[in-house]
Structure 1
């Protein structure tokens, strides 16, 4: 039994159902549900409550890769009735309907929705088209992703939040090292839980530092060209640095697990990573500073007892934990606070 939408809410579902894709943006789902039932977006929204679609509903409908929809609790109930799904199931699959993203207003408030031109959090990233075909989805699906990219290992696609600039997808057939890197990232997260995710975030941020200063590194230029991208455009950075970031994350894990952190041990680890950098073609002198910052925030760490619920219990240094977030994109999960697109002098 679906929640009662209240006195003024819709009483029955729309005739044709649409299943949400896990991680899908609310705007993407609503567009698909409206179109499946022969409704324009504006006509559909009249059934969901009062709101504003950036004052231009037709633009919102035309550019789902640029904007996201948010509702209050009553609006969630209305949407649940129209979709013939419980609010709990919608919140499970659509991140922007989570409790922390609902608009203000209690259950007795009028249903409201807002459609700001920029998402409140996350990145709108295109869902793999082959996965969409497998599900029988008849139009583009957009995910609300914490990172600005998504990797589909099943079909070998990389997609990002480029918003229509350049190719919509990059095929990874000519970039097997990127596929390997994504698998390694997944393995770190599965084996080491939160610590594995945060160490990858740290390594990715170090690689961002390197790319900002050295975008013409040969292996990165080659990968950008293979993906059909300009080597110096910021969109290319996550894709091209992914392999080095994954390998560096594994080296950081070795450092944390060893638990040997005096000056000699840190120098030995740094020398080993510098050898890796030289092999990758990354200028060692230019890139060392980011590694020194990371070492400074990982001076102390503890290997906690194994925990079935939380990986193997590797706890990172206090300097890391004071800065890194446990959720969000890689830039927030890292103890290294620079951002992709930041001027090199500001890092």
Structure 2
């Protein structure tokens, strides 16, 4: 009698959702293969008693060897997983002795729901998909949705139908981040603080373009919606800040103006870029002046006059962090990356 060879079913592969948390991916991989999550964790390299996990409460951090194992199980390459799963870039204490760590989410990470339209119709998304985000909000450019943590009221996802300017602004922000480098995050943080201050003070577009966006979102002057409402203008301000900072990097005042703490020409430039020159002159300049005081050129005039001219491409180079942004958090609450002490909800008189 011939021995019957036992045939084990081939594991079902799984495509990661861009930005997905590793814990979410592991849970979905277990689900599509109809095995316990603990079994997947054990195969990846969890020592001792395997455990289940709740991706909203904890994350799975992997050593490089464990990433390779997970890739084999999912019928993916390690490179594909590393591009899609953000936390695979952090070892978080993993080593060859401990390939896997399942720990509560570090505070700098934010857990978001995946865009509902991105996962709609995916058979492998019957288990909810959780994103690991370095920001408290994201924009799904493909489907035009604002994803956020529903703290302080408001929904977890907002349709941007009729708000194409927000989607276009996000594309511009992605290009700015690519050109400037990590320092762009500090500039966006400052720009959002500036724009939020204008919103709270009912300056600039608070009664016009921002009020119109609020009507489209279905809110009326609610703080949770401020980043969304002011985002297009904040990106314009961040771009202008990048121009200013590239010149400051070489001890040059904006537009080669006269040395001084405050660059009026740059503030006028911001008003022109926003299409709000009159509003800038009527009061919007104040918070921009506060920013320039913190980002002033400090080199003596004699030093500036004696130095060599900057390279011809200096206005397109990446920027290294400069004071007052030497310590630059890569993720977490965006306002923590801002040099401006004022925060939304405080009296605007706190500025200066």
Q: Fold conserved (TM > 0.5)? A: yes
Contact 2:140–2:146, Cα closer than 8 Å, also in 1: yes
**Cα distance between partner residues in 1 of 2:279 and 2:318:** 31
RMSD: 4.3
Does the C-alpha gap of structure 1 residues 51 and 283 become closer, same or farther in structure 2, counting only changes over 3 Å? farther
Residue in 2 aligned with 1:123? Answer: 110
- Number of residue-to-residue matches in the alignment: 320
- Taking a change above 3 Å as real, the CA distance of residues 164 and 335 of structure 1, as seen in their structure-2 partners, is closer
Alignment partner of 1:269 is 2:266: yes
Alpha-carbon offset, residue 255 of structure 1: 4.0
TM norm structure 1? 0.71
Match of 2:289 in 1: 292
CA–CA distance in structure 2, aligned partners of residues 184 and 259 of structure 1: 26
The answer to whether the 8 Å contact 2:214/2:229 transfers is: yes
Q: Contact 2:150/2:156 (CA < 8 Å) preserved in 1?
A: yes
- Alignment of 1:26 onto 2:14: no
- Choose which of 77, 102, 111 in structure 1 pairs with 2:91: 102
Contact 1:70 1:113 in 2 (8 A): yes
Alpha carbons of structure 1 residues 217 and 281: separation in structure 2 relative to 1, 3 Å: farther
Residue 242 of structure 1 and its aligned partner are, at CA, apart by 0.2
What is the TM-score of this pair, normalised by structure 2?
A: 0.70
Assess if the C-alpha contact under 8 Å between 1:298 and 1:317 holds in 2: no
Q: Compare 21-30 and 74-83 and name the one that shifted more.
A: 74-83
Change in Cα spacing, 1:321 to 1:103, as seen in structure 2 (3 Å) is closer
Query: Paired residue for 1:313?
Result: 317
For residues 159 and 316 of structure 1, what CA distance do their matches in structure 2 show?
Answer: 30
Instruction: State the match for 1:239 in structure 2.
Output: 228
Offset of 1:30 from its aligned partner?
Answer: 1.3
The equivalent residue for 2:188 is: 200
User: Would the aligned equivalents of 2:11 and 2:74 in 1 still touch at CA under 8 Å?
Assistant: no
Question: Are 2:31 and 1:35 equivalent residues in the alignment?
Answer: yes
Give how far 1:226 is off: 2.0
Contact 1:78 1:111 in 2 (8 A): no
Identify the residue that residue 224 of structure 1 maps to in structure 2: 214
Task: State the secondary structure of the residue aligned to 2:143.
Answer: coil
Return the index of the structure with the highest Cα Rg: 2
User: CA, structure 1 residues 84+281, in 2 after alignment: closer, same or farther (shift >3 Å)?
Assistant: same
Q: How far did 1:27 drift?
A: 1.7
Distance 1:213 1:45, change over 3 A: farther
How many Å apart are 1:32 and its aligned residue? 1.2
Distance 1:34 1:184 in 2: 38
Structure 1 pair 315–80 and aligned structure 2 pair: CA distance change class (3 A): closer
- Write out per-residue CA displacement over residues 32-80 of structure 1, whole angstroms, 9 at most, x where no aligned residue: 1111112343454454414899x9x57x2xxx44543334566545534
Distance 1:160 1:103 in 2: 25
2:101 paired with 1:113: yes
Change (3 A) 1:18 1:143: same
Q: Given the superposition, is the C-alpha separation of residues 342 and 103 from structure 1 closer, same or farther in structure 2, using an over 3 Å criterion?
A: farther
Q: Which runs of 5+ in 1 are unaligned?
A: 1-11
Q: Using a 3 Å threshold, how does the CA distance of structure 1 residues 230 and 14 change in structure 2: closer, same or farther?
A: farther
Instruction: Tell me the secondary structure at the aligned position of residue 68 of structure 1.
Output: strand
